[in-house]
């Protein structure tokens, strides 16, 4: 996967960290939150990019935006715009290479909450 | 593995939760702490029970005791006494059955901190 995307509105695409700069600690701090784990689980299970608004979350819109931000900063998702929709792509291949088995163990089987 | 052990001083063996009562959330909250992840990593790598005092930790003794307590409450370790030493056993088989791949992903390869 290329390190940057430029589908529609590339000037608004936020910065994404290189996974070489991300440690397990940061990934775990992102995924210990059940709302963030739910977001990643939805992306993992659906195996397709999803707009922020299409993932049902029990939090306010501004809190949801914060959670997406944390996931992006931890290298878990890549965000880009299609028109006015902010889309989210799971960085699955990169995460699997950097942290083998982590995504599968944490969100792969919809384990007990 | 039996659900209780009674090696030496069984009257002092603390209560251990049944893993059926433990959710992924509690396990992650235990393992998101780097000191606690280090303890579990040492038990995982050594594949043998260890006394509390033999695991080198960058925290005070009382803080270490707290960390072992959190790990025990999350079902990750089983504690028992041998004489005056409090021993720690990783509940590896039970964890692997309840949360497949989790221990390997989080402590199995000494990944980047």
Chain B: closest CA distance from residue A69 (Å): 19
Structural domains in chain B plus CATH codes: 21-106 (1.10.10.10)
pLDDT at A112 (0 to 100) = 55
pLDDT in tens, A15-63: 899 999 999 999 999 999 999 999 999 999 998 999 999 999 999 999 9
Report the C-alpha gap between B70 and B33 in whole angstroms. Answer: 10
By the CB < 8 Å criterion, does A21 face chain B? Answer: no
Report the C-alpha gap between A79 and A51 in whole angstroms. Answer: 9
pLDDT at B75 (0 to 100) = 98
> Helix, strand or coil for residue A21?
helix
Cβ contact A24:A99 at 8 Å = yes
Q: Which of B25, B34, B109 sits opposite A34 (nearest CB)?
A: B25
Residue A113 and residue B24: Cβ atoms within 8 Å? yes
pLDDT at A11 (0 to 100) = 60
pLDDT in tens, A64-82: 999 999 999 999 999 999 9
pLDDT band at A3 (very low <50, low <70, confident <90, very high): very low
The ipTM of this complex is 0.85
Question: Is this model's pTM higher than 0.95 or not?
Answer: no
Q: Which of A25, A105, A113 sits opposite B101 (nearest CB)?
A: A105
Cβ contact B4:B13 at 8 Å = yes
pLDDT at A13 (0 to 100) = 79
Mean pLDDT of all residues in A86-101:
96
Mean pLDDT of all residues in B50-56:
94
Mean of the per-residue pLDDT values of chain A: 89
pLDDT band at B14 (very low <50, low <70, confident <90, very high): confident
Distances (CA, A) of A38 to A41, A108, B24: 5, 11, 12
């Amino acid at each position: 996967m290329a390190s940057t995307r430029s589908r529609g509105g590339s000037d608004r695409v936020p910065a994404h960290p290189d996974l070489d700069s991300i440690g397990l600690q940061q990934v775990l701090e992102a995924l210990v939150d059940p709302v963030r784990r739910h977001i990643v689980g939805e992306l993992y299970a659906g195996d397709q990019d999803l707009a922020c608004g299409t993932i049902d979350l029990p939090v306010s819109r501004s809190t949801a935006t914060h959670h997406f931000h944390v996931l992006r900063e931890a290298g878990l998702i890549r965000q880009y715009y299609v028109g006015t929709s902010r889309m989210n792509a799971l960085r699955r291949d990169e995460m699997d290479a950097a942290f083998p088995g982590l995504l599968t163990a944490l969100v792969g089987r919809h384990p007990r909450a």
